[in-house]
Amino acid sequence: MPAANPTVDATAATLTVTSMTLDSLMQPAIRHRYETFLAGLANDSGLLYYAPPYLAMLADLFEASAQLQVLVAERGNTITGCLPLMVCDGPLGKVINALPFFGSHGGLLTDDMDTARVLAGAWHDTLDTIEPVAATMITNPFCPLDLAPLRDTLPIDATDERIAQFIDLTDWGDGNVWAHMDVDRFAEKLGDTARRNVRKAFKSGVTVAVDNSAEALAFLRHTHTTTMADQGGTVKPAAFFDGLTRWFEPHTHYNIYVARQDGQRVAALLVF
């Protein structure tokens, strides 16, 4: 991977933006400041997709075909924003995604409008330098800023808007999910079909609990692969499952929720 680009002066005298490689971002002092920035954002907007372990995963999975860059904005020694992206060599030329891999969110992440403008300018400069045939930015739905005013400053040819739905699952608790959940109260948050399915599963003796064992991961992998293949969907690569415990810490970064009926595993869900 290329070395990090030199720091570039931004619109404000104290605000700078740097294009960092993963190796640069992983330096202990920089990583600490970066993770402090993510943890301090409102609306839980510092999503997994911006976290160093996830960026390390992308760098490994796409090592042969793409390069990771993270545009990092700083005011003095304080990080105020970031924009991770990957540059891929395609058959028609270079392609930029922020971010790739099964709908990963990317986009500008900051709670400061001056920083947002600087990062937007850095994105524009990156496009001018790399001259990709296409560039896609999947914005963060939890970003604490309204970035609509910046749209006119970005080179956008097409916009695809999606409706996102979120349900607060904090009532699920830890460990044995059913044991910590008021099913009737939780079901009120669901649509009719989902509500019926939850009640039926509960009455049928289905249990759900966290299981991060190697056996649970193997079951998750097999179930995902066979189910997606049967439905004609895109299966996650084997390297994703092989490297999961290398990139992420169980309980800290992810949990595998396993459903059992009559003592047998019947379903699994990977939650980051």
The mean per-residue pLDDT over the stretch 216-226 comes to 98
Q: What's the confidence (pLDDT) of residue 9?
A: 46
Q: What pTM value is reported for the model? A: 0.85
Give the integer Cα–Cα distance in Å for 208 and 70.
38
The mean per-residue pLDDT over the stretch 234-251 comes to 95
The mean per-residue pLDDT over the stretch 99-117 comes to 91
Report how far apart, in Å, the C-alpha atoms of 104 and of each of 64, 85, 107, 117, 167 are: 19, 11, 10, 23, 19
CATH of the domain at 175: 3.40.630.30
Q: In this structure, are 29 and 64 located in the same domain?
A: yes
Count up the domains in the chain and report the number.
Answer: 2
User: CB atoms < 10 A from the CB of 171, how many?
Assistant: 14
CB-based contacts of 241, cutoff 8 Å, min separation 6: 217, 220, 221
Q: In this structure, are 224 and 267 located in the same domain?
A: yes
Give tens-digit pLDDT for 153-187: 777 788 888 877 777 666 555 545 555 566 677 77
CB half-sphere exposure, 23, CA atoms < 13 A: 6
Domain that holds residue 17: 8-153
Q: In this structure, are 20 and 72 located in the same domain?
A: yes
